[in-house]
A and B are shown apart, each in its own frame.
Chain A
Amino acid sequence: MFEVTQATEVYSTIEIAKGDVAAGEQAADFVVERTFRVGLQEQLYIEPQGAIAYPYRETGNGKRETGVTVVGSLQCPYYVHRALKRALALTDEQAVVIQAETGGGFGGKEEYPSIVAIHAALLACKAGWPVRLIYDRHEDLAATTKRHPGVISHRTAVKKDGTLLSQDIYIVLDGGAYCTLTPVVLSRAAIHAAGAYSCPNVRIRARAVATNTPPNGAFRGFGAPQSLFAAELMVEHVAERLGMSSVDLRRKWMLRVGDTTATGQNLTESVSAELVLDAALRAVAPNRLTAQPPIRHGRGLSLVFHGSGFTGSGERKLSGTVAVAGLANGTFQILTASTEIGQGTKTIFCQLAADALGVGLDKVVLAPQDTSLVPDSGPTVASRTAMIVGRLIQEAATELRDRAKREPLPLRVEKTYVQPDSIHWDEATYRGDAYPVYAWACTIADVDVDMTTGEVRVTDVVTAVDCGKALHPVMAEGQIEGGSLQAVGWATIEEIKMKDGGYQNDRLATYLIPTALDAPRIRTILVENPYSRGPFGAKGIGELPMDGPAPAIIAAIHDATGVWLDEVPATPEKVLAACTSR
């Protein structure tokens, strides 16, 4: 079974219901229907998967005791720790996981490193020697999890004046042959499926199915890019049907303070759809109208939101813990399992702690991400690190500063996440506060399309972003720029063709990502609308930039060519075929 729409094995299903969709459709002047497809995508961290396993643990002074130590390229030390304990029947102390400097992750090193670690550990135990297991690129591409492909259908009911009456959405994601984090990915996909819009009647049905293909898993955005791609293009189709500008339609529909989302979450603060839309529109010059044949220019826009932190009760169940220690020599140590994978964890954690402690940045260091040293702060995923873990560090450091006024160093303060009473979530009905808060982005993409070859060149991407507070503006921009290009790749050239259930594009010569010559000029406008429970108002930012560019690019291709593709990647093959058959 290779075709997601025909698969009958189901991993999980979700149904979200708000109001009465049938009533909405009955009152409608138009009901617009459309189906969208999204493709596989490889994270393509430049450092492949790898781990070194030692058939012992060291307990100081070079003393070796029973256990297993794994040093690896990974995002979530405690995920690997849990996997090792289970696979090798080890105790908490016997399993030691240490993060090595990690050459990129993007979700690809969230769960997969557990497999690499177990394999290396088994070999090390058998051999009685350390074992180094590093995937070459071909192995990595052929075996590791990809972004879930899927098919998403929308029925949207509107009045002639554009009033949104109902959204009926059906999502099928392809989980592949084994269940990874697929149900959690499906959850985020479903919750974001209605887009950044307020609608009285919503039904979202989502299911993840099994196919005889390699398993799909975590990847920056975690289901939201897939469902937001469909939601954003649906705005375009409805606007076209109404003969309205899609920007005006977004303005009419978009979520504002006091509105409720599809899960019934009442948005009370830091709601920035309008802010980012206005900021992005202000930032771009009027669209170029003429181009030299056979090139045509086009421009497209998208408006998205992305839930910060774990879905629903995730953070409460996780109860992430951090510690800040004041050492006798007057320096401070942050103890957390949140990892640096290029996104700036080390820098912003030290900034937050130094600021709260009232000391210079040079006095604060991050303890090694070693499970024998640091508490479980939860995984480095879900745009939660700055907002959730950063806030805990801020609280711990603040308390340490107060205590240090009265007590002598060394001191250690631990903080564990406590879900605020105001957050309510019902896992059974999928009603309530799906996320503590949302980050917002509006992306405007400009493209050149070669009408003789179907080649799409994304020339400019401008994104206005509200992440609450950019704790380190250069790094925040870096997240937006990198995520935007990853999304440009997904939207245009990153294609995986299947053969007998395996990937044909399993080498770097065949799985292509954008080079410096392909990358558009990327401009970021940081709009800050603080969140009351984030550190200095910060919300999540890591995944948000993956959501907006793909629909903006498809809209831009339509603007250039008059053709709707409704799928990514918009390869030259598809663009040319669509333009020719028109």
Chain B
Amino acid sequence: MRDVTYLRPRTLSEAVQLYRTTPGCRPLAGGTDLMVMLHARTLRPEPRGGAVLDLWSLAELKGVRRLGDILEVGAAEPYTGIIGSAEVQQHLPALAAAARTIGAAQIQNRGTLGGNLANASPAGDTLPVLLAYDVVVVTDRRSIPIDRFFTGYRKTALESDELITAVRFPIGRQVAFRKVGTRAAQAISKVVLAVSLTPARVAIGSVAEVPLRAHRAEAALEGGDVAGAIAAVADDIRPIDDVRSTAAYRRAVTQNVLRGLLDAFARG
């Protein structure tokens, strides 16, 4: 990593400028994914080791702000800040719940929504929650609705020189969340779900090449057909066997957990 150039902009506009003009540059926030990849050399930025663009300390990317009926979370706000935010606890409890399942204290102190989005892992713990809330991803140049953000396995709608600056959540939606992992902390999910009834949203991670909206299940839910939604979700997902779980398990658990979350909604 000695050959990776370290760039530390002082302002967002400087960061945007540097990102546009530095070939092979990778944005760096808390480093929980990028530092692992750079050290293990599973990522080798070009040319000549490339560069990292440190966004961690940019004030413009931090904090949780109320903008009318929107809650805006800075792209580089760590999960600890999200969990501790009174606004998040009050309005977005599912986001706080998801953040609490990420890694443990060390990771929560460094991991960010911007990083989770840009990394676009199908197993990203917050991503189903973002889908269920219909968030808007704000970048240096535009707003991207979350349902158009994930375009393929670890691929996003971001342009090569586009930086995520914030995530905007609508207030007033009831979202339920559950992650099934191998252990109680420090686990990547086998299945992760976020569900809302009004509007009907069923968002699932680790069951396809992207974090997924289960549109068939949502259509059934829209019509008040809970049993139909649970049956239909099996056709929405495309799980695989991998190191963490099996397709069969993910299929069964997606249905079981969806049933559990919907039952909980019904019980109020």
Identify B259's interface contact among A452, A454, A515, CB under 8 A.
A452
The answer on a CB contact under 8 Å between B243 and A510 is: yes
Kindly identify, within residues 497 to 526 of chain A, every residue whose CB is under 8 Å from any CB belonging to chain B: 497, 504-505, 509-510, 512, 514-518
Given A504-B243, A515-B104, CB of A452 within 8 Å of CB of B257: yes
Name A515's closest neighbour in chain B (CB-CB). B185
Name A489's closest neighbour in chain B (CB-CB). B183
The answer on a CB contact under 8 Å between B259 and A572 is: no
Provide the bound-state CA to CA distance between A454 and B243, in Å: 17
Q: A91 in the interface, Cβ–Cβ < 8 Å?
A: no
Q: B90 in the interface, Cβ–Cβ < 8 Å?
A: no
Given A452-B256, A515-B104, A573-B249, CB of A493 within 8 Å of CB of B190: no
Q: A580 in the interface, Cβ–Cβ < 8 Å?
A: yes
Q: B253 in the interface, Cβ–Cβ < 8 Å?
A: yes
Identify A514's interface contact among B183, B188, B248, CB under 8 A.
B183
Kindly identify, within residues 216 to 260 of chain B, every residue whose CB is under 8 Å from any CB belonging to chain A: 243-246, 248-249, 252-253, 256-257, 259-260
Bits for B97-110, please: 1 = Cβ < 8 Å to A, else 0.
00000001000000
Bits for A289-305, please: 1 = Cβ < 8 Å to B, else 0.
00000100000000000
The answer on a CB contact under 8 Å between A580 and B252 is: yes
Identify A515's interface contact among B180, B186, B248, B256, CB under 8 A.
B186
The answer on a CB contact under 8 Å between A497 and B185 is: no
The answer on a CB contact under 8 Å between A453 and B180 is: yes
Q: Which residues of A contact B245 (CB under 8 A)?
A: 572-573
Q: Which residues of B contact A577 (CB under 8 A)?
A: 248-249
Q: Which residues of A contact B188 (CB under 8 A)?
A: 509
Q: Which residues of B contact A573 (CB under 8 A)?
A: 245-246, 248-249
Kindly identify, within residues 508 to 546 of chain A, every residue whose CB is under 8 Å from any CB belonging to chain B: 509-510, 512, 514-518
Provide the bound-state CA to CA distance between A294 and B259, in Å: 11
Provide the bound-state CA to CA distance between A457 and B180, in Å: 13
Q: Which residues of A contact B186 (CB under 8 A)?
A: 512, 515
Q: A455 in the interface, Cβ–Cβ < 8 Å?
A: yes
Name B190's closest neighbour in chain A (CB-CB). A572
Provide the bound-state CA to CA distance between A453 and B249, in Å: 8
Given A452-B259, A515-B104, CB of A576 within 8 Å of CB of B182: no
Q: Which residues of A contact B249 (CB under 8 A)?
A: 454, 572-573, 576-577
Q: B184 in the interface, Cβ–Cβ < 8 Å?
A: yes
The answer on a CB contact under 8 Å between B184 and A452 is: no
Provide the bound-state CA to CA distance between A576 and B260, in Å: 15
Kindly identify, within residues 10 to 28 of chain A, every residue whose CB is under 8 Å from any CB belonging to chain B: none
Q: A317 in the interface, Cβ–Cβ < 8 Å?
A: no
Q: B187 in the interface, Cβ–Cβ < 8 Å?
A: yes
Q: B266 in the interface, Cβ–Cβ < 8 Å?
A: no
The answer on a CB contact under 8 Å between B256 and A453 is: yes
Name B256's closest neighbour in chain A (CB-CB). A452
Given A573-B245, A577-B248, CB of A453 within 8 Å of CB of B253: yes
The answer on a CB contact under 8 Å between A518 and B183 is: yes
Count residues of chain A with CB under 8 A from any CB of chain B: 25
Name A294's closest neighbour in chain B (CB-CB). B260
The answer on a CB contact under 8 Å between A455 and B180 is: yes
Provide the bound-state CA to CA distance between A576 and B253, in Å: 9
Provide the bound-state CA to CA distance between A138 and B41, in Å: 12
Bits for B182-207, please: 1 = Cβ < 8 Å to A, else 0.
11111110100000000000000000
Most buried by B among A457, A512, A516, A577: A512
The answer on a CB contact under 8 Å between B252 and A576 is: yes
The answer on a CB contact under 8 Å between A512 and B187 is: yes
Identify A518's interface contact among B185, B244, B248, CB under 8 A.
B185
Most buried by B among A452, A504, A518, A572: A452
Q: Which residues of B contact A518 (CB under 8 A)?
A: 183-185
Given A517-B183, A572-B190, A576-B249, CB of A497 within 8 Å of CB of B257: no
Q: Which residues of A contact B187 (CB under 8 A)?
A: 512
CB distance from A140 to the nearest CB of B (A): 13
CB distance from A174 to the nearest CB of B (A): 20
Q: Which residues of A contact B259 (CB under 8 A)?
A: 452
The answer on a CB contact under 8 Å between A453 and B244 is: no
Name B191's closest neighbour in chain A (CB-CB). A453
Q: Which residues of B contact A294 (CB under 8 A)?
A: 256, 260
The answer on a CB contact under 8 Å between B246 and A517 is: no
The answer on a CB contact under 8 Å between B185 and A138 is: no
Q: Which residues of B contact A512 (CB under 8 A)?
A: 182-183, 186-187
CB distance from A141 to the nearest CB of B (A): 12
Q: Which residues of B contact A509 (CB under 8 A)?
A: 188
Given A510-B244, A572-B249, CB of A453 within 8 Å of CB of B257: yes
Q: Which residues of A contact B246 (CB under 8 A)?
A: 573
CB distance from A107 to the nearest CB of B (A): 23
Given A504-B243, A505-B243, CB of A517 within 8 Å of CB of B185: yes
Provide the bound-state CA to CA distance between A518 and B260, in Å: 23
Provide the bound-state CA to CA distance between A136 and B256, in Å: 39
CB distance from B82 to the nearest CB of A (A): 20
Q: Which residues of B contact A138 (CB under 8 A)?
A: 40
The answer on a CB contact under 8 Å between A517 and B184 is: yes
Provide the bound-state CA to CA distance between A517 and B185, in Å: 7
Name 20 A/B residue pairs within 8 A (Cβ), A-sorted: A138-B40, A452-B257, A452-B259, A453-B180, A453-B253, A453-B256, A453-B257, A454-B249, A455-B180, A457-B184, A493-B182, A493-B183, A512-B183, A512-B186, A512-B187, A514-B183, A518-B184, A573-B248, A573-B249, A577-B249
Given contacts A138-B40, A514-B183, A580-B252, 6 further A-B contacts (CB under 8 A): A452-B253, A493-B183, A512-B183, A515-B185, A515-B186, A573-B248
3 smallest beta-carbon distances between A and B, as pairs: A517-B184, A452-B256, A573-B249
